[in-house]
Amino acid sequence: MSAAAASSAGECANPQGPVPEKIQNLASEILKVYTTRSAEEQSAIVNKYYREDARFVDPLMDVGTPREINLAFFSLIKLFDSIDAQKKSLTWNEKPELPSHLQAAGLQQVVLNNQQVYHRSKTTIDLDVNTYLTIDPKTGLIVRHEDKWLNKGFKVPTFMKRGTGVMSSAMFKLFGWGKEVDKAAPPQATQK
């Protein structure tokens, strides 16, 4: 089997073997969070696949809890006319780069290499992204979702990301987007 065929079939060149179909499906659902125009669909995906203490990190922000993650993704619906996302590959990360409190937790990590294209009016932003999904193998839930932009040099310094995440969330709430996220959440998700 060729390397390209192995990659598309979920095969990996590492001791952990192929990426299971369940994780392949999870990765496909995560890409939908970027592309959907439905707050309800975003909320359902986040609440289904993210653990209560999950974190979302990208070059601009670091936010925690499914509600704050929902809010970060919901902002994409508001800020962009459309987003295209395409999976290039999905492989195990043999040497996960994790914060110290997660290193000894027996977690698994996959790397979802993908192309994201953001459209707004006459502007297009094209990102080549490695999405690191850290998964609790006992529950199958995402503990950490980190996007690293491979073709853009801009990023907020790590020590400032939580601050920008808090400020962004506060600003989004001022716009009333928090109420829209709560309204879109499945009934059981609002009781968490």
Among 15-19, 49-53, 88-92, name the one with the lowest average pLDDT: 15-19
Tell me: the pLDDT tens digits for 142-184? 999 999 999 876 665 565 555 665 556 555 565 565 666 666 6
Region of residue 120 (left: phi > 0; alpha: psi -120 to 50; beta: else): beta
- In this prediction, residue 94 has a pLDDT band, given cuts at 50, 70 and 90, of confident
Handedness of CA 85, 36, 25, 91 (dihedral sign): positive
Q: 47 is written with which tokens?
A: 């609440």
C-alpha span between 142 and 153 (Å, rounded):
27
* In the block, residue with structure tokens 């995906």: 45
DSSP letter at 15?
A: T
Percentage of residues of the chain with pLDDT beyond 90:
49
What does pTM read for this prediction? 0.77
Query: Is residue 7 predicted with pLDDT exceeding 60?
Result: no
Query: Do 60 and 149 contact (CB within 8 A), yes or no?
Result: no
User: What domains appear along the chain, each with residue ranges and CATH number?
Assistant: 3-181 (3.10.450.50)
> Residue 63 and residue 52: Cα distance in Å, rounded?
12
Mean pLDDT check: name the lowest of 5-9, 49-53, 123-127, 166-170: 5-9
